[in-house]
Amino acid sequence: MKSKIQFILSMIIFGTIGLVVRYINLSASERALLSSFIGCLFLTLIFFLMKKKISWNSVKSNTLILFLSSIALGGNWVFLYQSYDHTTIANATLGYYFAPVFVMILSPFVLKEQLSIKKILCIGVAIIGLVLIVCEGLSASNTDDIVGLSYGLIAAAFYAALLLLNKFIKDMGKLELTIIQLGITALFLMPYVFLTEGFSILNVNSSSIPFILILGIVNTGIGFWLFFSGMEKLKGQSIAMLSYVDPFVAILISAIFLQEQMTLIQMLGGTLLLASTFISEVRSVNFLRHLMKIPSEQR
**pLDDT, tens only, 147-179:** 999 999 999 999 999 989 998 998 888 889 999
Please report the pLDDT score of residue 137 as a whole number.
Answer: 63
Separation of alpha carbons 255 and 246, rounded Å: 14
Please report the pLDDT score of residue 141 as a whole number.
Answer: 54
Domain locations along the chain: 2-298
Share of the chain above pLDDT 90, in %: 51
Please report the pLDDT score of residue 284 as a whole number.
Answer: 44
Q: Contact 104/245 with Cβ under 8 angstroms? A: no
Nearest partner of 281 among 249, 247, 251, 239, judged by Cα: 239
Separation of alpha carbons 146 and 245, rounded Å: 25
Q: Contact 3/234 with Cβ under 8 angstroms? A: yes
Mean pLDDT, the chain, whole residue set: 86
Residue 215 sits at φ, ψ, to 5 deg, of -60, -45
Instruction: Go through 139-148 and write b for each residue having 16 or more CB atoms within 10 A of its CB, e for each that does not.
Output: eeeeeebbbb
Higher pLDDT, 169 or 291: 169
Higher pLDDT, 297 or 105: 105
Task: Give start and end residues of each alpha helix (H) in the chain.
Answer: 2-15, 17-21, 28-49, 56-61, 63-86, 89-96, 99-110, 117-139, 143-166, 174-196, 209-213, 223-231, 236-242, 245-252, 264-281, 284-292
Q: Contact 30/140 with Cβ under 8 angstroms? A: no
Residue 51 clears pLDDT 80, i.e. is over it: yes
Q: Contact 74/223 with Cβ under 8 angstroms? A: no
